[in-house]
């Protein structure tokens, strides 16, 4: 992949999104530790290039489903960070009115069909979104972001099968951070992800998930194939998970050395900067400016979130149905 | 000789094949006179009292409250007081062993095409001589409005009852829905049936259509009998039209239909269900609204058709307790128009007091035929 | 009025709604009659023949045989509903919900609430339910209480062909997710069904029969059982009102309470299990809100707390019968 295929504006946008995710997650951790996040939240820091490398190919009419670790996909698909931060804090100004929380952030107007508290649940939903596009004669695609854990779920096997026999414009991005909660994926996973996909006759690629450009290229091929009616794809992105399974996880099942090395050697932002610097594509000052802007934006989102009112009590029983009786 | 009189499940109208004993109003041993209502019977359309028709003593109640029996089945025995108990006993036993005759299949309506529009029409007495009678029901009703009249009146002439456009089994899509367009479709139906000249009895909206028909095609009308008709005054009592259109739940429909009757308890569950089933059909609501907007904008009658009354020999019938069409609508009519007020009836005298209404319709037709 | 079977009523509703709205699709096991096989196309019409003819009328894009993977196709129906289609997905036997409950309970039912009211998921999940065909423990259950328990789902259990057609049309046009359960013992029953399309609103009980001595509350197949019992009881001079709630969710609480207050004696007849079942739910409603009007304790006629058995003699003993209803009514009618 040549980074020259991307315009300067696109490169800046990719960097801005990845940086936003990183800073958002760090801030979410801080706010959690500060007692401002009432529930559980799972942080995506380290995996940013996977979400952004894929979503740079998608428009608002394309659909994605996400996981319990969903902040990154939400930001990459265009969800409002103020609304997301307020949602995590359980505020009435949250993107879901404070009713969903971190694990259910969604914005259907952006084609974001929801983070999901159930591992593997997004795969069938994405098959349905792809089926809509197919039946309604649209060129849109649907992407299921799932983890290495979800790839062992029956729902995913069923969905790969369905997507293959129906030639659905569906893409399964398996973000392999090496751990299902605290258990190493090597301990619980048989065989290779791409080989499983191949057995369903689904083209599959394994890429380094800290390399934005590698992800971008693989996703480009998969999205083009899906839009052209060529059916589903699997992209296996290998990514680091900087924090524990959830914010506050003591994370003592991994050694301090392993975690330090991961942050040092497996950082998609550093990798991106180095790449654009080598090729003199972007001015470092422009990236620094983005860093500053993002820091300010996320700080402001957190300030607004903390100051926001809780949801009105009347909302407890609204939105259960469109119309019940 | 002392007589035993069986009381049987009555036949009210042509489509009644069974009835339910709602409540006995007399007890065994009571003295009976012919006009006495002895039992409340519920049919598919309405609950009504059955008059004894004879004098005597009520000896046996054979069908208890709540039982449903085919028409013609024995429900009680009245006799002269001197008839011995044993004779009553054997009469009841004999009646019980008789296999009730299978109910005759009710006559089926036919679909008549008028251009793009389908009209559901039920014809009785097709082969009978004489000028036929056309029955036109009211807003939100259907040809079953004439349950207690249709068969009775068809004893000596053909009687055709139609579902107006947007009602019953007729098309739910039809022109503008104003009286002229409805009358035009009715005239087209008569053409399709090969009927050139006709008596018309119209109830409520059907009365308005009949008046419009008189205005447009007086040459085809032998006489008019208008029952609580539209067209003779502006107001409609009790916000009936909007409430009828809005009613969807059972309770609301029962409430609004109750306003049609002098005794709102006459509205049966089946009557409510019939209206509800019609209103649930795709297009039924739009059909009713189309007609209401054209004929009753703002819940008031748009057209004054009093002038059409002079065109054809006409009679007007109104229930004394009608809550929709007030008495002022039937005052100040031309002297040639006979006005009959029916006691113990509301907006539905043809159902509530079918005897006198049928008599009046017959008299009006006979006068015109003569 | 034309007479049609319950099966025909379902089939007619599917035909009319697919014709009315291009976004309606039908998916499930064998719904297209067995695709990819050597025999005639759509020879079968699904396990119960309800979808026969849809393939010919609407084509394979909108009428889809699926693999036997309920999680995938029920979840896909939910995802498709979120993104512009109005799927009708069939689970052949409601017992199979065990393998896809997550998609119904955690996903479809909750999208709207979790997403702050921004989602609509107009999906219908049809399934057969009930004992009586020797299906054994995994093909005979009446699991509507499971769905009724879940906020966000509407649950429909029709008892007659007329209701089946009108309620299914309503389910398909409804913007909320609906679970629509059909008693397999009712498919061959007949009744008056208009040819035209119509809808019956949810949450409105049907008074199937009027009566003043005892109120019988029953749903689905049990409505017929209650009616039969009511006919027998009539000969004994006990008049029963039969109330069919039609939709366990939303439940027409008002009519149940109103009739209870009017009559004062209640027997609830239900085919679902007794613990946390529909009869228990309705019974608690009455006990809580109409207790003063009760002239006798509420009686429930339900199966025992046991799986559905296979042997005919056991299966017959499992399902409430008119005789058992008669017995319960006699007990409450005294005094």
pLDDT in tens, A138-195: 999 999 999 999 999 999 999 999 999 999 999 999 999 999 999 999 999 999 999 9
Query: Measured at the alpha carbon of residue B338, what is the angle toward residues B333 and B342, in degrees to the nearest 5?
Result: 105
CB contact under 8 A, C84 and A132: yes
Q: Estimate to the nearest angstrom the gap between the alpha carbon of C86 and the chain centroid.
A: 20
Please indicate if any CB of chain C lies within 8 Å of the CB of A186: no
CB contact under 8 A, C194 and B277: yes
Query: What residues form DSSP beta bridges with A5?
Result: none
CB contact under 8 A, B280 and C204: no
Task: Using CB atoms, pick whichever of B65, B269, B281 lies closest to residue C239.
Answer: B65
Those chains having 3 or more beta-carbon pairs within 8 angstroms of chain A are C
Q: What is the pLDDT of residue B33?
A: 86
Report how many Cβ contacts below 8 Å link chain B to chain C: 33
Can you point out the beta strands (E) in A198-250? 204-208, 233-238
Q: Quote the radius of gyration of chain A (alpha carbons, Å).
A: 19
Q: Looking at the complex, report in whole angstroms how far the Cα of residue C286 sits from the nearest Cα belonging to chain B.
A: 20
Q: How many domains does chain A have?
A: 1
Fill in the DSSP letter of residue B172: S
Please indicate if any CB of chain A lies within 8 Å of the CB of C248: no
Those chains having 3 or more beta-carbon pairs within 8 angstroms of chain C are A, B
Contacts of C151 in chain A (CB under 8 A): 320
- Pick from A257-266, A274-283, C161-170, C264-273: least confident: A274-283
Query: Which chain C residue lies closest to B249 (C-alpha atoms)?
Result: C204
Q: Is A176 helix (H, G, I), strand (E, B) or coil?
A: strand
Establish if A321 belongs to a structural domain.
no
Domains of chain C: 3-192 (3.40.50.970), 206-333 (3.40.50.920)
Identify the band that residue C269 occupies on the pLDDT scale cut at 50, 70 and 90: very high
Nearest-CA neighbor of B22 among B37, B34, B4? Answer: B37
Distance CA A256, CA C94 (A): 50
Do B202 and B221 touch, CB atoms closer than 8 A?
no
Q: What is the pLDDT of residue B14?
A: 58
Mean of the per-residue pLDDT values of chain C: 96
Burial of B54 (0-12, 13-18, 19+ CB in 10 A): middle
Distance CA C50, CA C91 (A): 12
Distance CA A191, CA A216 (A): 25
Q: Is B255 helix (H, G, I), strand (E, B) or coil?
A: helix
Task: Using CB atoms, pick whichever of B66, B248, B269 lies closest to residue C234.
Answer: B66
Q: What is the dihedral of CA B242, B243, B249, B255, to 10 degrees?
A: -160
Establish if A298 belongs to a structural domain.
yes
CB contact under 8 A, C207 and B269: yes
Q: Which of residues 52-91 of B touch C (CB under 8 A)?
A: 64-67
Distance CA C308, CA C141 (A): 7
Per-residue pLDDT averaged across C16-36, rounded?
Answer: 95
Please indicate if any CB of chain B lies within 8 Å of the CB of C197: yes
Establish if A285 belongs to a structural domain.
yes
In CATH, what number is assigned to the domain containing residue A236? 3.40.50.970
Q: Spell out, as residue ranges, where chain B has pLDDT lower than 50.
A: 1, 97, 99
Q: What is the pLDDT of residue B103?
A: 54
Establish if A130 belongs to a structural domain.
yes
Which residues lie below 8 Å from residue A54, measured CB to CB, with a gap of 6+?
A: A76, A143, A145, A171, A173, A215, A216, A219, A235
Identify the band that residue C335 occupies on the pLDDT scale cut at 50, 70 and 90: low
CB contact under 8 A, C107 and A116: yes
What ipTM was estimated for this complex? Answer: 0.95
Distance CA B308, CA B301 (A): 16
CB contact under 8 A, B283 and C239: no
Establish if A316 belongs to a structural domain.
no
Identify the band that residue C3 occupies on the pLDDT scale cut at 50, 70 and 90: very high
Strands B68-70 and B18-24, sheet pairing: antiparallel
Task: Using CB atoms, pick whichever of A118, A132, A322 lies closest to residue C83.
Answer: A132
Q: What is the dotted CATH code of the domain comprising B4-97? A: 2.40.50.100
CB contact under 8 A, B250 and C207: yes
Distance CA C316, CA C329 (A): 20
Please indicate if any CB of chain B lies within 8 Å of the CB of C195: no
Distance CA A122, CA B156 (A): 75
Nearest-CA neighbor of C193 among B281, B288, B70, B42? Answer: B281
- Pick from B60-64, C96-100, C265-269: least confident: B60-64
Please indicate if any CB of chain B lies within 8 Å of the CB of C204: yes
Query: What residues form DSSP beta bridges with B162?
Result: B121, B136
Q: Which of residues 137-166 of A touch C (CB under 8 A)?
A: 142, 154-155, 158-159, 161-162, 165-166
pLDDT in tens, A30-50: 999 999 999 999 999 999 999
CB contact under 8 A, B282 and C199: yes
Please indicate if any CB of chain B lies within 8 Å of the CB of C245: no
Distance CA A9, CA C116 (A): 34
Identify the band that residue C291 occupies on the pLDDT scale cut at 50, 70 and 90: very high
Those chains having 3 or more beta-carbon pairs within 8 angstroms of chain B are C
Per-residue pLDDT averaged across C79-86, rounded?
Answer: 98
Contacts of C81 in chain A (CB under 8 A): 128
Per-domain residue ranges for chain B?
Answer: 4-97, 110-369
Identify the band that residue A108 occupies on the pLDDT scale cut at 50, 70 and 90: very high
Distance CA B370, CA B366 (A): 6
Q: What is the dotted CATH code of the domain comprising B110-369? A: 3.40.50.1820
User: Both tokens of residue A11?
Assistant: 């490169």
Residue A23, number of CB atoms within 10 A of its CB: 20
Q: Looking at the complex, report in whole angstroms how far the Cα of residue C327 sits from the nearest Cα belonging to chain A.
A: 35
Establish if A314 belongs to a structural domain.
no
Q: Looking at the complex, report in whole angstroms how far the Cα of residue A127 sits from the nearest Cα belonging to chain C.
A: 5
Q: Which of residues 168-197 of C touch A (CB under 8 A)?
A: 175-176
Distance CA C62, CA C22 (A): 9
Distance CA B254, CA B267 (A): 7
Q: What is the pLDDT of residue C178?
A: 98
Please indicate if any CB of chain C lies within 8 Å of the CB of B96: no
Please indicate if any CB of chain B lies within 8 Å of the CB of C196: yes
């Amino acid at each position: 992949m040549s980074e020259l295929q991307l315009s300067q504006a696109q490169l800046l946008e990719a960097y801005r999104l990845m940086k936003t995710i990183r800073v958002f997650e760090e801030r979410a951790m801080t706010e959690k530790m500060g007692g401002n996040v009432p529930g559980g939240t799972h942080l995506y820091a380290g995996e940013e290039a996977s979400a952004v490398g894929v979503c740079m190919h998608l428009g608002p009419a394309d659909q994605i489903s996400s996981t319990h670790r969903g902040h990154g996909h939400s930001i990459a698909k265009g969800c409002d960070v103020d609304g997301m931060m307020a949602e995590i804090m359980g505020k009435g100004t949250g993107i879901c009115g404070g009713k969903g929380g971190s694990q259910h952030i969604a914005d259907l107007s952006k084609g974001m069909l929801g983070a999901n508290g159930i591992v593997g649940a997004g795969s069938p939903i994405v098959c349905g979104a792809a089926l809509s596009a197919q039946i309604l004669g649209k060129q849109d695609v649907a992407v299921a972001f799932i983890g290495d854990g979800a790839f062992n779920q029956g729902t995913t096997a069923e969905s790969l099968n369905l997507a293959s026999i129906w030639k659905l414009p569906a893409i399964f991005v398996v973000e392999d951070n090496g751990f299902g909660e605290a258990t190493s994926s090597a301990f619980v996973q048989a065989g290779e992800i791409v080989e499983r996909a191949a057995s369903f006759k689904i083209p599959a690629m394994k890429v380094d998930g800290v390399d934005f450009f590698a992800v971008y290229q693989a996703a480009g091929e998969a999205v083009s194939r899906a839009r052209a009616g060529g059916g589903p794809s699997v992209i296996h992105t290998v990514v680091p998970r900087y924090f524990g399974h959830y914010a506050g996880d003591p994370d003592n099942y991994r050694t301090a050395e392993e975690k330090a090395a991961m942050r040092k050697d497996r950082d998609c932002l550093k990798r991106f900067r180095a790449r654009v610097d080598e090729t003199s594509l972007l001015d470092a000052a422009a990236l620094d400016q983005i860093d500053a802007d993002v820091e300010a934006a996320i700080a402001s989102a957190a300030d607004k979130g903390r100051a926001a009112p809780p949801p009105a009590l009347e909302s407890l029983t609204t939105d259960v149905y469109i119309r019940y009786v | 000789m002392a007589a035993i009189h069986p009381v049987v499940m009555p036949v009210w109208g042509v489509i009644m094949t069974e009835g339910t004993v709602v409540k006995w109003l007399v007890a065994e041993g009571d003295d009976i006179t012919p006009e006495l209502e002895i039992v409340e019977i519920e049919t598919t359309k309405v609950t009504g009292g059955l008059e004894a028709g004879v004098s005597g003593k009520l000896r046996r109640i054979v069908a208890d409250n709540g039982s449903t029996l085919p028409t013609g089945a024995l429900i009680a025995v009245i006799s002269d007081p001197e008839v011995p108990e044993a004779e009553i006993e054997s009469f009841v036993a004999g009646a019980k062993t008789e296999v009730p005759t299978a109910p005759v299949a009710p006559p089926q309506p036919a679909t008549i095409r008028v251009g793009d529009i389908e009209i559901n029409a039920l014809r009785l007495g097709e082969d009978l001589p004489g000028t036929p009678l056309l029955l036109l029901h009211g807003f939100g009703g259907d040809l079953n409005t004439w349950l207690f009249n249709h068969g009775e009146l068809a004893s000596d002439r053909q009687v055709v009852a139609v579902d107006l456009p947007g009602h019953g089994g007729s098309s739910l899509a039809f022109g503008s829905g104003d009286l002229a367009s409805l009358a035009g479709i009715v005239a087209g139906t008569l053409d399709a049936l090969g009927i050139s000249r006709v008596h018309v009895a119209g109830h409520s909206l059907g009365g308005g259509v009949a008046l419009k028909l008189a205005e447009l095609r007086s040459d085809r009308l032998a006489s008019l009998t208008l029952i609580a008709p539209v067209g003779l005054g502006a107001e409609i009592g009790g916000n009936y039209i909007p409430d009828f259109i809005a009613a969807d739940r059972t309770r609301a429909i029962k409430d609004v239909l109750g306003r049609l009757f002098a005794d709102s308890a006459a509205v049966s569950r089946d009557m409510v269900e019939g209206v509800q089933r019609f209103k649930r059909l795709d297009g039924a609501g739009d059909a009713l609204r189309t007609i209401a907007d054209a004929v009753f904008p703002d819940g008031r009658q748009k057209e004054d058709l009093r002038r059409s009354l002079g065109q054809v020999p006409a009679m007007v019938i109104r229930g004394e307790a009608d809550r929709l069409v007030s008495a002022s609508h039937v005052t100040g009519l031309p002297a040639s128009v006979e006005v009959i007020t029916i006691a113990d009836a509301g907006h539905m005298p043809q159902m509530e007091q079918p005897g006198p209404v049928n008599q009046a319709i017959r008299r009006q037709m006979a006068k015109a035929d003569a | 009025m034309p007479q049609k079977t319950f099966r025909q009523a379902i089939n007619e509703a599917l035909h009319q709604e697919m014709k009315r709205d291009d976004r309606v699709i039908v998916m499930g096991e064998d719904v297209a009659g067995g695709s990819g096989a050597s025999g005639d196309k759509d020879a079968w019409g699904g396990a119960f023949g309800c979808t026969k003819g849809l393939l010919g009328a609407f084509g394979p894009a909108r009428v889809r045989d699926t693999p036997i993977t309920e999680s995938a196709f029920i979840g896909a129906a939910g995802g498709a509903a979120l993104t512009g289609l109005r799927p009708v997905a069939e689970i052949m036997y409601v017992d199979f919900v065990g393998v896809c409950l997550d998609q119904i309970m955690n996903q479809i039912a909750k999208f709207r609430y979790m997403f702050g009211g921004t989602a609509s998921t107009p999906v219908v999940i049809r399934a057969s339910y009930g004992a009586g065909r020797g299906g054994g423990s995994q093909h005979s259950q009446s699991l509507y209480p499971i769905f009724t328990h879940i906020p966000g789902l509407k649950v429909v259990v029709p008892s007659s062909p007329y209701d089946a057609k009108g309620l299914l049309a309503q389910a398909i046009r409804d913007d909320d997710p609906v679970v629509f359960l059909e008693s397999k013992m009712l498919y061959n029953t007949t009744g008056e069904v208009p040819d035209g399309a119509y809808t019956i609103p949810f949450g409105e009980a049907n008074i199937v029969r009027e009566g003043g001595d005892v109120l019988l509350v029953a749903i689905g197949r049990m409505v017929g059982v209650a009616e039969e019992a009511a006919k027998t009881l009539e000969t004994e001079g006990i008049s029963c009102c039969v109330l069919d709630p039609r939709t366990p969710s939303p439940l027409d609480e008002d009519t149940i309470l109103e009739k209870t207050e009017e009559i004062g004696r209640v027997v609830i007849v239900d085919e679902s299990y007794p613990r946390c079942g529909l009869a228990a739910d309705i019974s608690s409603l009455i006990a809580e809100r109409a207790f003063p009007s009760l002239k006798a304790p509420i009686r429930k006629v339900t199966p025992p707390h046991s799986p559905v058995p296979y042997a005919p003699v056991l299966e017959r003993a499992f399902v409430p019968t008119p005789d058992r209803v008669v017995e319960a009514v006699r007990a409450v009618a005294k005094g």
